[in-house]
Amino acid sequence: MAELLVSAVLPVLFEKLTSGELLNFATQEGVRSKLKKGEKTLKMIEELLIDAEEKQMKDGAVEM
């Protein structure tokens, strides 16, 4: 259940992180590199969740 929520939220978060307005603001405020690092972290989390979900489908014994 939590996986569905996270899977639905992450794409919206990626879209917001890469929006032109936010990137312009981030550049002006000097936080663009932190946003990019956060975006990479979120992508890694998404990949791990997808992998865990696939493993859980193959082997019901896999737990979060």
Domain span holding position 20: 15-57
Reading the block at residue 26, the tokens are 């981030």
**51 assigned to some structural domain:** yes
Reading the block at residue 22, the tokens are 């936010």
Largest CA distance in the chain: 49
Question: Is pLDDT at 64 greater than 60 in this prediction?
Answer: no
Residues in contact with 54: Cβ distance below 8 Å, sequence separation at least 6, in sequence order: none
Reading the block at residue 59, the tokens are 């082997």
5, containing H or E segment = helix 2-17
Residue pLDDT, tens place only, 3-44: 666 677 777 877 777 777 777 877 777 777 787 888 889 889
What's residue 4's pLDDT? 66
Residue pLDDT, tens place only, 20-30: 777 787 777 77
**28 assigned to some structural domain:** yes
Banded model confidence at residue 2, pLDDT cuts 50, 70, 90: low
**27 assigned to some structural domain:** yes
**50 assigned to some structural domain:** yes
**26 assigned to some structural domain:** yes
What's residue 63's pLDDT? 58
**63 assigned to some structural domain:** no
Total domains, the chain: 1
**37 assigned to some structural domain:** yes
